[in-house]
Chain A
Amino acid sequence: EAGVVQSPRYKIIEKKQPVAFWCNPISGHNTLYWYRQNLGQGPELLIRYENEEAVDDSQLPKDRFSAERLKGVDSTLKIQPAELGDSAVYLCASGAEWGGLAGDQETQYFGPGTRLLVL
């Protein structure tokens, strides 16, 4: 079974430039998460989707960050314009649908992440 796919793996941009990250979740997973992981810290949730709906975007800095999951499968996270403080690893994770089998509800499967460096 293929895992969560993310691209690109690395990205270096200058501040004020736009950047986009792409994620393809595990087949059949309805829930998709975007996290930001700063150096030496645990992941912090940016946004969670259930199918096409963003059910939790309370931690997403909406002035510069946007995300979409138009067909309920793959997703794109965008930053425009990027700032120096946005340098981090952006992780995508997917999980089984809420209300599914007990034990699958909260297990998230992570992609390898996109390492962003803003200069």
Chain B
Amino acid sequence: AQSVTQPDIHITVSEGASLELRCNYSYGATPYLFWYVQSPGQGLQLLLKYFSGDTLVQGIKGFEAEFKRSQSSFNLRKPSVHWSDAAEYFCAVGAKTSYDKVIFGPGTSLSVIP
């Protein structure tokens, strides 16, 4: 069964600084990988996803993530954080068959200092 860890429970960055949120997964084959963002009181919004091909994936709002098979990681990055990026970020791992479920990590809460 697949699993996801997000080592950082909470991160604080200054506006304009770069950001990297860590995600590690466990899965027996090449997984599907996702990053979602959740603003307070809102549902989850898909930022980006990796299914195959280029390991550097571009998403919405200026985010990107890189799939590193050797490290079982899928870290999310943004070169310059905006105050509106403050939210909860969830990494998720899915499977290539309809018999497996998508598993979400515990989330990383991002605070942005003006």
Q: Give bound CA distance, A40 to B105, whole Å.
A: 11
Q: How far is the CA of A91 from the CA of B92 in the complex (A)?
A: 15
| A: number of interface residues (CB 8 Å) | 28
In this complex, how many residues of chain B approach chain A with their Cβ under 8 Å: the count is 23
Asked if residues B107 and A56 are in contact (CB atoms below 8 Å), the reply is no
Closest to B92 in A: A42
The reply to whether A42 and B105 contact each other, CB–CB distance below 8 Å, is: yes
Q: Is there a chain A Cβ closer than 8 Å to B90's Cβ?
A: yes
The answer on a CB contact under 8 Å between B98 and A110 is no
- Asked if A110 contacts B44 (CB within 8 A), the reply is yes
Contact of B106 among A41, A50, A112 (CB under 8 A): A41
The answer for the CA separation of A39 and B80 in the assembled complex, in Å, is: 29
Q: Which residues of A contact B94 (CB under 8 A)?
A: 106
Q: Are B106 and A91 in contact (CB under 8 A)?
A: no
Interface membership of A43, Cβ < 8 A: yes
Interfacial residues of chain A within 7-46, with CB under 8 A of chain B in the complex: 40-45
Q: Which one of B34, B43, B90, B95 contacts A112 once the chains associate, using CB atoms below 8 Å?
A: B43
| Docked CA distance A50–B101 (Å) | 13
Q: Which residues of chain B have C-beta atoms less than 8 A from A42's C-beta?
A: 4, 90, 92, 104-107
Q: How long is the Cα–Cα vector from A105 to B46 in the complex, in angstroms?
A: 14
Residue of B nearest to A113 (CB): B43
Contact B45–A110 (Cβ < 8 Å) = yes
**Is A48 within 8 A of B101, CB to CB?**
yes
Q: How far is the CA of A56 from the CA of B107 in the complex (A)?
A: 24
Residue of A whose beta carbon sits closest to that of B43: A110
Candidates B34, B42, B46, B98; contact of A50 at CB < 8 Å: B98
Task: Decide yes or no whether B113 CB sits under 8 A from chain A.
Answer: no
Write out the residue numbers on chain A whose beta carbons fall within 8 Å of the beta carbon of B90.
42-43
A106 with B104, Cβ < 8 A, contacts A4-B43, A91-B43, A91-B44 known:
no
In chain A, positions 88-103 with a C-beta closer than 8 Å to chain B are 91, 93, 98-99, 102-103
| CB-based closest 4 A-B pairs | A42-B104, A110-B43, A98-B98, A106-B94
Residue ranges of A at the interface with B (Cβ–Cβ < 8 Å): 4, 6, 40-45, 48, 50, 55-56, 91, 93, 98-99, 102-103, 105-113, 115
